[in-house]
Homo-oligomer: A and B are copies of this chain.
Amino acid sequence: MTKSKNLNVGLVGTQFMGRAHANAYLKVGRFFDLPLQPVMHTAAGRDPGRTQAFADRWGWANTTTRWQDMVESDAIDLIDICTPNNLHKDIALAALEAGKHVACEKPLSATLDEAREMRDAAKKAKRSSKAQTFVWFSYRGCPALALARQLVQDGKIGQVYHVRANYLQGWGGPATPLVWRFRKEFAGSGAHGDLNAHSIDAARFVTGEEITEVSGAIEETFIKQRELPGDEGGNIRGKGGAAKKKGKVTVDDTVMFLARFKGGAAASFEATRLAIGCQNENKLEVHGEKGAIRWNFEDMNVLWYYNAQGDAETNGWQRIMVTDADHHPFAHAWWPDAHILGYEHGFINLASTMFNQIGGGKLEVPMADFEDAYQTQRVLEAATLSARNRAPVKISEVK
């Protein structure tokens, strides 16, 4: 194959998200017909041995412990950032400056200031080098959410009255040690940036509307001290190996907020790691004048839809199994009806979007770019401010 057909990817970060993205690069070309072929060119990580092991396992051709190497290399076309949030900005700015396409895990950054810088750099790079930016709000790649967006765009929901987004996890009980996700210097925030970021993006993505105000908010850290993890490189949630010594939790366990959308919709958001009994309940509900939709990631292949104009005798919530190759987003790439997809397929589907966008193919859904992710970051910031200032916050005042 010629260079014009390949796109060489450099990946920074080899933990949970590094693995999810590597899997996406491995598979996307097998299931989708793409204008460009992903090449797993270089993997970067801090620890040389672990980085090499990761590369061997996944088939990355090269490794480095300096992400700067990839920025400096002509061979790399796209840099994909899977580091802790506090490192997103420096890598992204350098990569954009070097004319690379940049993909970045969510949330865009640990602070709004960083997000603004990234957004500005992306805008500049787009003009100067046609570099494109992508943010991995992976749930956009779930066919059911993509269909939900389509139904809104087709007018099946009408004026939106209500949005309800709950992202409920329960792994953050008192027994969980102080892994990096509980430390502000690495994570920026707790459940808020981790989970509400997804919910805000999903709500904006599905409704096609911007949030204009956070009307009230609660931010809380119920568990204020946690045992230090015995080995920080362990399981992402620090299971096993906790030492006796405790350290201070510097991020939230939960952030809840009320909000308004541009079209007037009244919304509530809740992200928590203390919803005991819930594991990964990423839920979104939208009610409008003409219809409504409901989705829960734990049953991710199903979208519930209510058509207010349905025949009254038989009307009810419809359980749509979003796996019909002829009628549902992304389904053509996979298996027969109801041979269901899982978590990782969100990433693979979005990877198809990314390669199609760079290569000039047709998009089934748009991925967020830095501008788009910056809007989500403003809402995150507004919610934090609202909780701390105990007052509503207009998004237009958060920049």
Residues of A within 8 A of B (CB): 16, 20, 22-23, 26-27, 29-30, 57-58, 147, 150-151, 156, 161-162, 164, 166, 170-171, 173-174, 215-218, 220, 222, 235-237, 239, 253-254, 256-258, 260, 264, 266, 268, 270, 272, 274-281, 287-292, 294, 297-302, 305-308, 310, 312-321, 323-328, 335-345, 386, 390-392
Contacts and interface: CB of A to CB of B under 8 A. Distances in A.
Query: How many chain copies does the complex carry?
Result: 4
A291 B300 CA distance: 25
A218 B258 contact: yes
Contact of A276 (B22, B30, B147, B287): B287
A11 to B, nearest CB: 14
A305 B258 CA distance: 27
A78 to B, nearest CB: 21
A161 B253 CA distance: 10
Given A30-B57, A316-B320, A391-B391, 17 more contacts: A164-B166, A216-B386, A218-B266, A220-B266, A256-B268, A268-B270, A274-B287, A275-B287, A276-B289, A276-B308, A279-B337, A281-B338, A298-B340, A312-B324, A312-B326, A313-B328, A341-B343
B162 A337 contact: no
Given A264-B222, A335-B344, A337-B279, A320 B315 contact: yes
A191 B272 CA distance: 27
B292 A174 contact: no
A30 B275 CA distance: 32
Contacts of A318: 310, 314-319
Nearest to A161: B274
B57 A29 contact: yes
Nearest to A310: B318
Contacts of A235: 325
Contact of A287 (B170, B268, B292): B170
